[in-house]
Structure 1
Amino acid sequence: MKTGDPSAALRATANDWEELASTALVGTDRRPYPGDLLGAAAVETVRRRAGRRPVEPEGEEAAPGEEQEPVGRRAAERLARIVAGEHERLLPEWLAVAAATGRRVPPYVLPELLERGRWDRSVRAHLGVIAGRRGRWLAARNPAWAYLLDEPTGETWELGSAADRRAHLRRLRKQDPAGARRLLETTWERETPDDRAAFTEMLADGLSMDDEPFLESALDDRRREVRQEAANLLTRLPGSRLSRRMAERARACLTVTPAAILVEPPAGCDGVMERDGIRAKPPRGFGERAWWLQQVIARAPLTMWGEPPESLLARRIPEWDGEVKAGWVRAAVLQRDPAWARAMFAWDPIADLLEALGPDEQQELAAGFTLGHDLDSQLIMVLGGVSPYWREPLASAVLHKIVKVAASQPWNLDELVRLAGERLDPGLAPLAESYSPAPAVQRVAASLRFRADMFKELS
């Protein structure tokens, strides 16, 4: 291929694009080209992109004025750095803190934030508020950013979008549980299936027996997700009709004696069981009866056993031992029972069990687990289930683990170091700085200082 002839590239503006593409495909050996093929293609590409008159939009409205005040200059500069890749995993936290202040992000960062939200759902929850009116104006003009129009903006139940109505119900449920349920009942039949599923899940806040009639009726909903969430909530109410039905099924399956627990799994799964949340078809690798047994035990009220969990776990279970205990793990998660969660965490330390415990006890259990467990995916998952912001003794346990692993497996530390920097209380930056000169620990300290400054700028 010949090169170095600028005039040939200029002459290519008159060539047909298909001819250029065809020559590039077959090669200049088979189809000689009089000039610089690559240069001609570059010129033609620019000409095709730029050689058009811009289309004047008809009736396009200018971006509306903003009602919210923007965040301060230093906070905006830090946001730009985060979006550009500096501590980028802190972006959801920055957005959450900024949204709580009622302020908005500066316009120049909106395109990058909206583009990020296309694939990172963790940033969407607060974008509807902090993007301001200009952000929603942009989203209405770019189909790729239209997801923003489904996020909360702060509007009311009557006037807001679906996301606004969900946010409104969530706030009302925290303040007035009965009032929130009554509001939902007035519009229930008109709600979309997706909204009914989301609204049902929100009733977990302030859940009581006053909600039982409404949730019992939701077991007949057309949408499977609504039925499943209603069954999950009714499982948390030991006095619910569903809990009583499950207790009867569990008694038919388990016989507790002083020495052992004898098990006879369900023989079948009928329509009544399915209505109560039992899924008939097991996952791959499960037998049907084992699957039904686990679910019955998971939805039976833990209070029915009449003994502390440690006493039952000490019993011998000749058959179906794993299925029974897996059912109790799921029951502790569904029913948010702290005593059972502690006991089952000792048997199977999974992060979901920590949700039944308060932040202090979560951190206490996780600290013990961190000190006694090797650094692997299970440890990361357990720590990921602990609510921020970590303080003592968990902070010291994690820093100790980092120092220990850094001496033997430094390549294995990245996720633990990032998690510590994101979840420790930022006020513990001095502790991390003085704990060890190890580079991995100093990385944690740097992340904590970064977050402490971030909070200060947004306060």
Structure 2
Amino acid sequence: MSGERDEWEELVSAALLGTDRRPLPPGDGTAGPGTAEEVLERAAVHTVRTRAGRRLGRGVPLPRAAADPRPPVSPRAAELLAEHILDGGHGARLPEWLELAAASGRRLPPHLLPPVLDRAEREPWLREHAAVLAGPRGRWLAEHVEPRWAFLRQEATGVAGEDAWRYGTAGDRRRFLRGLRGRDPEAARRLLAAAWPREAPGDRAAFIQTFETGLSDDDEPFLEAALDDRHREVRQKAADLLLRLPRSRLAARMAERGAPCLSRDGNRLVAVPPRECDEAAQRDGVRAVPPRGTEPRAWWLRQMIARTPLSVWTRKFHATPEEIVRWRIADHRGEVVMGWVRAAMMQRDPDWALALFPLEPMAELLAILPPRRRDAVAVAFLQANGAAEKAVDVLGGLTSGWSRRLTLAVAEILARDVHGPPWGHARLARLLGARGDPDLHEQVRRVSTARPVQEAADVLRFRGEMRKELS
């Protein structure tokens, strides 16, 4: 053994220093004494000889992966994923493919598990649907083969019934609680209240977010108590939910704080920033420390406006949202308007969202509107501001699919705004392909022969085929 070690050390020294500085004693290789080729050949022979002399150990058989009764996706769906999404030109369609496949009740073929899970490991937003498709085989691989896929242990496994709450992963429990909120909010609230003291802070924050489903005044006592939670994220989520309950104690407290911040002088509003942000206000979700470069009182004003029930202003000023937002604001206009915008988002108020959109054309405000109204407002905006880059700014944040009318309107903007910046065309074409109605790919193609329109039509056609295979 000592001789073998000495020979290996000589080979390593020769490889590191070079055979001209550290020549080897002649060996039985064919490359000639002392050459680099002989160093490599002798190292290979030494490695084989060492391995061949070892005794084989007794292996411990691994447990079998649990059976997955779900059928795999269709061969064509798997082909679209492997050849056109993972290794082709439609890589941006992966989130949609995974979402549709997970909803279909099918699983991934085994040979596609590694590339999909590798992508999910790098891109966390893919994990929820990738975990559902991976099923028990994926979790077996994460436990016994590839530690990088350990995130699967936290995602939903598809366990059904109360077993998901008792024995499931964190993802299983979130999914079960969200489903129970949709069927029986009171039962879900009782279930969570019983387990609340034992839950980790991160889980409490995720569980309390499920109250968005079926939120009602009956949830107010539980959410009010959560304002005293030690975890900041739990407190913030509880406060945001309470703002959607106009009769909650928090809404009343914020109305009392916020009302003095704005007063009317004719058709002018006068803003008066708060002088302090006390502990009681912080308990109700107002953050005391402003971002760098922001004056504290202006920061508190914006938050007070944002967390004040919007009905306070219509009652106080005896005016509609459309009338109020048109009035001149003497000082702190930016803080007041952005406070209203944030309030409309948190309180899901379509009247205020519609009134504020002309001032701040944001996708987040459009998303609050009912679908028909939303698309009508979006189309009107595009027709009045027909530049591709402006369309991208407004439509980029809309995550839901577009209607027929909006799809064709965007295609026409692409065809008409030929003199705009190229980056605007490229981004809007990508949005049209990703969000447009796939059934309209031929109509979009006929709008214009311009390259951005044709590329968007190609993506719509691909998405249509993908949806057909995964439906």
Contact 1:127–1:151 under 8 Å retained in 2: no
Contact 2:14–2:22 under 8 Å retained in 1: no
How far is 1:184 from its partner? 1.2
Contact 2:415–2:450 under 8 Å retained in 1: yes
Q: Deviations over 1:332-378 (max 9, x none)?
A: 111010011111111111222223112222222222333415333x6
Q: Deviations over 1:196-247 (max 9, x none)?
A: 0001111111111111111100000010000000110111111111111111
CA 32–370 in structure 1, closer or farther in 2 if over 3 Å, else same = farther
CA 366–46 in structure 1, closer or farther in 2 if over 3 Å, else same = farther
CA RMSD of aligned residues (A): 2.7
Structure-2 residue corresponding to 1:101: 104
Whether 1:128 aligns to 2:134 is no
1:343 aligned to 344, 355, 360, which one? 355
Structure-2 residue corresponding to 1:4: none
Write the letter of the residue equivalent to 2:466: M
User: What TM-score comes out, normalization by structure 2 length?
Assistant: 0.87
Quote the Cα distance in structure 2 between the aligned partners of 1:357 and 1:403: 28
Q: 134-143 or 164-173, which moves further after superposition? A: 134-143
Write the letter of the residue equivalent to 2:74: G
Whether 1:58 aligns to 2:71 is no
How far is 1:401 from its partner? 2.2
1:86 aligned to 74, 89, 95, which one? 89
Q: Deviations over 1:129-165 (max 9, x none)?
A: 1112211111112211101111101222122111100
Contact 2:391–2:428 under 8 Å retained in 1: no
Q: Deviations over 1:102-148 (max 9, x none)?
A: 11010001011111111112221112211122111111122111011
Structure-1 residue corresponding to 2:29: none
Contact 1:218–1:227 under 8 Å retained in 2: yes
Quote the Cα distance in structure 1 between the aligned partners of 2:216 and 2:247: 10
Contact 1:76–1:106 under 8 Å retained in 2: yes
Q: Deviations over 1:271-300 (max 9, x none)?
A: 101000000000112110000011111111
Write the letter of the residue equivalent to 2:426: D
CA 56–310 in structure 1, closer or farther in 2 if over 3 Å, else same = farther
Q: 279-288 or 171-180, which moves further after superposition? A: 171-180
Contact 1:362–1:386 under 8 Å retained in 2: no
Match of 1:158, SS state, is helix
Write the letter of the residue equivalent to 2:206: A
Structure-1 residue corresponding to 2:172: 164
Match of 1:417, SS state, is helix
Q: Deviations over 1:160-192 (max 9, x none)?
A: 111100011111112222222122112111111
Structure-2 residue corresponding to 1:429: 441
Structure-1 residue corresponding to 2:158: 154
Write the letter of the residue equivalent to 1:66: D
Quote the Cα distance in structure 2 between the aligned partners of 1:314 and 1:264: 19
Structure-2 residue corresponding to 1:119: 122
CA 251–65 in structure 1, closer or farther in 2 if over 3 Å, else same = closer
2:387 aligned to 351, 360, 374, which one? 374
Write the letter of the residue equivalent to 2:240: N
Quote the Cα distance in structure 1 between the aligned partners of 2:332 and 2:450: 48
Whether 1:74 aligns to 2:69 is no
Quote the Cα distance in structure 1 between the aligned partners of 2:218 and 2:182: 15
Whether 1:20 aligns to 2:23 is no
Whether 1:278 aligns to 2:282 is no
Quote the Cα distance in structure 1 between the aligned partners of 2:48 and 2:133: 34
Higher-Rg structure is: 2
Structure-1 residue corresponding to 2:185: 177
Quote the Cα distance in structure 2 between the aligned partners of 1:391 and 1:297: 34
Write the letter of the residue equivalent to 1:80: A
1:358 aligned to 367, 370, 378, which one? 370
Unmatched 5+ residue regions in structure 1?
A: 1-11
Q: 40-49 or 116-125, which moves further after superposition? A: 40-49
Match of 2:270, SS state, is strand
Structure-1 residue corresponding to 2:149: 145
CA 108–413 in structure 1, closer or farther in 2 if over 3 Å, else same = same
Contact 1:96–1:126 under 8 Å retained in 2: yes
2:332 aligned to 316, 320, 340, which one? 320
CA 55–401 in structure 1, closer or farther in 2 if over 3 Å, else same = farther
Contact 1:136–1:149 under 8 Å retained in 2: yes
Contact 1:234–1:240 under 8 Å retained in 2: yes
Q: Deviations over 1:46-104 (max 9, x none)?
A: 99799858976524223343221111111111111211133111111111111111110
Matched length? 443
How far is 1:265 from its partner? 0.8
Structure-2 residue corresponding to 1:216: 224
Structure-2 residue corresponding to 1:7: none
Quote the Cα distance in structure 1 between the aligned partners of 2:154 and 2:350: 36
1:226 aligned to 216, 222, 234, which one? 234
Contact 1:420–1:444 under 8 Å retained in 2: yes
1:2-21 aligned at under 5 Å gives the runs 15-17=10-12, 19-21=14-16
CA 179–46 in structure 1, closer or farther in 2 if over 3 Å, else same = farther
